[in-house]
Structure 1
Amino acid sequence: MNNDVTLHKEDLSDELRLMLSILAMDNKTEITFDLQELIHHADWDRFIELARHHRVFPSLNHKMQKLKTIGIPTFVSQMFHRDYYRNTLQMLALSGEMEQIAKLFSDNGIRSLFLKGPVIAADLYGDVSLRTSCDLDLLIPLKDLERTESLLLSCGYEKDEYIVSVLNDWKWRHHHTSFIHPEKGIKVEVHWRLNPAPAKEPRFDDLWERRRQSSLITRPIYYLGREDLFMFLVSHGARHGWSRLRWLLDIKQLSDQKLDWPKLIVLLRKHQFTHIGGQALLLLAKLFAVPLREEMKPILNDRRAEWSAEDAMFYVHRMINLHSPPISEEVDRYHRKYLFGLLTFRQKVMFIASFLYPYPEDAKTLPLPKPLHFLYFPLRPFIWGWRKLRKTFKDNETYN
């Protein structure tokens, strides 16, 4: 993938450089001359906008309170403090709901691993209030999905019916489904995969064997082992182009823990995420001044890591929200190419081959009784061609 975006931090706006510089400070209260200059020239409205977009205002608030400096306007500190307070209440509410869901599933014999949310905030930052989360994400075995759905519905949750499927393609084209509690305002994403296909997945039983128990509350709540968490977080962040730097900040916090790097490297190689791990580490080095240590070298030796890190700077230079459509045509086109560029050769072959598998649009174009859905396989090229031809006719009519 070719683009003219480089990893030069100097190309970033003053406000983004200021934000990154503050976040990169580890237990420091003295500031450099360069940082003081950035503070002096900052557009503080833009700074607040960036901090909210990247979801890093809790960490910024925590670090800014320790800075021995003048020049940060009072309204900025007050704004972050209010955001921090609201986030704390949100995280406490999520913690309470997480405890209830964990008990519900455990009582009904369903194994669950919490992927993000309060447990990750407590593990990586030591305080649930220092990370933002808007929902709860958990992983369960696919065989327990139907029972999980019934349990959540019985507790007042409503399923977000956004998945349309034919011939059970949802099992691999998607990786989670969502439930929303209308009264509590809490969203729960139930995963049966860590990532959508064609990503290579570890078995749930293997993840469960390597699980950790959170010390956040007394009731047993389980989440991913450190190396599995690193692999999940880098794959998730990369899939979204690191468009929110909170995901990269998570990797910074995790890399400061006692990771078993030889074990992690084997895990990344096995599941074809070595270059994704390298991408994250290179971005950390350039944006957060995280030193690249000797044990990280096997991950960094893959040239694809450098290329994909350069590609990700497209998102860092812009405030892109991939979760809020409509997305501009430029961003949508770039993101499609970027995602394809992340795939290994084997994954690219599988991705291209997946176009031969029927899509829900095929069933919409030519409705058939369910017992005859197998006919969509030989009919797919003709249905696809008809759909394209019909769209061309419609576009011509609009133009004329």
Structure 2
Amino acid sequence: MDNILNLDRMPKELKLILELLKEGNEQYLEKYSEGLCRDIDWNLFIKLTLHHRVYPAINFKIKMLNADVVPTYVVQFLNRQYKRNTFQMLRLSAEMEKVSLLFSKHQIQTLFLKGPILAKCLYGDISLRTSSDLDFLIPIQDLAKAEDLLVSLGYEKDDYIHTVLNDWKWRHHHVTYIHPHTEIKLEIHWRLHPGPGKEPCFDELWKRKEKSSITSYPVYLLGTEDLFQFLVAHGARHGWSRLRWLIDIQQIVKRKIDWVKLYTLFTTYHNPYVGGQAIILASQLLNVRVEKKMKPLLISKRSQKLAQEAVFYLETMINLHTDSVPEYVSKYHSRHLFSLMSAQQKLFFTASLLHPYPEDAEMLPLPKKLHFLYFPLRPVLWAWRKTRKDELRKGRT
């Protein structure tokens, strides 16, 4: 695929990281080490490897550069981080097996989405991918039982979802639990993605599941095509702001994928253009080979446009998980998320705005039996809230 992305504003430190993450360029790295590392801000380089969660892979690839062009402290730092991550992944693996065994004994079907099971599936080695928690999907009717089981293990719920008229079931997709002593974090999902939106039901995903050999007790993950779509939708929703998610795409395309089946999944539950966006980014940034069977996801120039929009998140270290996201980033991200949607998803999203939000109940508390009044009052409460925000903004100015 020809170079179609404009990367002029991308920092040279990130371009070096991308060169290190590409496959099959060992001779290039060795031959052009001096030029690639000229005028590199190594402190920024380290920050970028941490931000993008790619230090396990960089720890190995940086050794392909000539030893005299990379400061010793950089190599030592990456090696320490790699060892620390290995221990973390081993801890998560043990906890994953414990949770899987407990849930299985109580007839809760469990699909692990990320964490060590994903590292083993895509990289063949749990030490080559980072993870801060365990994410798993269960049927929504088993949520209460699962919470009781986690509490019995000492976990405490970390976030409580505020809801009006049970909108949590489709607006949200997971709840978090943290163990106060081990500090291990678990995310129980009842949906793959936040709503509104259409996605496969749990039974459908369970039928296509794959078994992992990572632990002595059986643990399960999504089937290959479902996993590909999940990783693409998750990475796109976060603007591909961490390269780790794009490396997952680099790895999963090596697996045997039924691309016809995958295209059907995208057209049914998501948006083929987003699949094309992921392939273009992986091709342009990581040298992933674009094969003929991938072409149905690349037939529209809209995928190219979405891929270029995602470069914005790589030009600076944008962290969408913090509470202090700059306003210009927040506005850009809102527009980008809307551009990722299919026509059907845009319709669902627009309709969802008419459904009451918890903020409406906070502004005008009503008895539960009168909550239905939030529907006709929604436009008034929204306008009132916006007016108050504008006034507060003017006051700060």
TM-score range, shorter chain: over 0.9
Aligned to 1:95, which of 89, 93, 96? 93
Q: Pairwise mapping of residues 1-400 of structure 1 onto structure 2 (< 5 A)?
A: 7-26=5-24, 28=26, 31=29, 33-67=31-65, 70-392=68-390, 394=392
Corresponding letter in the other structure for 2:256: K
Measured on the aligned residues, the alpha-carbon RMSD in Å equals 1.8
Partner of 1:3: none
Q: TM-score, normalised by structure 1?
A: 0.94
Residues 15 and 38, structure 1, Cα contact 8 Å, conserved in 2? no
Query: Kindly tell me: are residues 357 and 30 of structure 1, through their superposed partners in 2, closer, same or farther at Cα, counting changes over 3 Å?
Result: closer
Corresponding letter in the other structure for 2:203: D
Output the CA distance in 2 between the equivalents of 1:383 and 1:12: 42
Output the CA distance in 2 between the equivalents of 1:122 and 1:152: 25
Superposed CA deviations along residues 242-299 of structure 1, whole A, max 9, x for unmatched, are 0000000010011112212222112212213311110000001111122211111000
Output the CA distance in 1 between the equivalents of 2:267 and 2:195: 17
Is the partner of 1:189 in helix, strand or coil?
A: strand
Corresponding letter in the other structure for 1:385: A
Output the CA distance in 1 between the equivalents of 2:101 and 2:20: 39
Unaligned runs of 5+ residues in structure 1 are 1-5
Corresponding letter in the other structure for 2:107: G
Corresponding letter in the other structure for 2:113: L
**Structure 1 vs Structure 2: percent identity of aligned residues?**
52
Deviation at 1:223, TM superposition (A): 0.3
Output the CA distance in 1 between the equivalents of 2:151 and 2:184: 13
Deviation at 1:154, TM superposition (A): 1.6
Superposed CA deviations along residues 303-355 of structure 1, whole A, max 9, x for unmatched, are 22111111101001110011112111111111111111111112112111111
Deviation at 1:392, TM superposition (A): 4.6
Is the partner of 1:31 in helix, strand or coil?
A: helix
Residues 33 and 69, structure 2, Cα contact 8 Å, conserved in 1? no
Deviation at 1:33, TM superposition (A): 4.3
Greater alpha carbon shift after TM alignment, 162-171 vs 51-60: 162-171
Residues 29 and 67, structure 1, Cα contact 8 Å, conserved in 2? no
Deviation at 1:31, TM superposition (A): 2.6
Deviation at 1:204, TM superposition (A): 0.8
Superposed CA deviations along residues 143-199 of structure 1, whole A, max 9, x for unmatched, are 111111111112111102342111101111111110111101111011111111133
Deviation at 1:393, TM superposition (A): 5.0
Greater alpha carbon shift after TM alignment, 226-235 vs 149-158: 149-158
Query: Kindly tell me: are residues 124 and 395 of structure 1, through their superposed partners in 2, closer, same or farther at Cα, counting changes over 3 Å?
Result: closer
Corresponding letter in the other structure for 2:385: R
Deviation at 1:32, TM superposition (A): 5.5
Query: Kindly tell me: are residues 21 and 168 of structure 1, through their superposed partners in 2, closer, same or farther at Cα, counting changes over 3 Å?
Result: same
Corresponding letter in the other structure for 2:350: I
Unaligned runs of 5+ residues in structure 2 are none
Deviation at 1:12, TM superposition (A): 2.2
Superposed CA deviations along residues 204-242 of structure 1, whole A, max 9, x for unmatched, are 111101101111112010001111110000000000000
Residues 30 and 67, structure 1, Cα contact 8 Å, conserved in 2? no
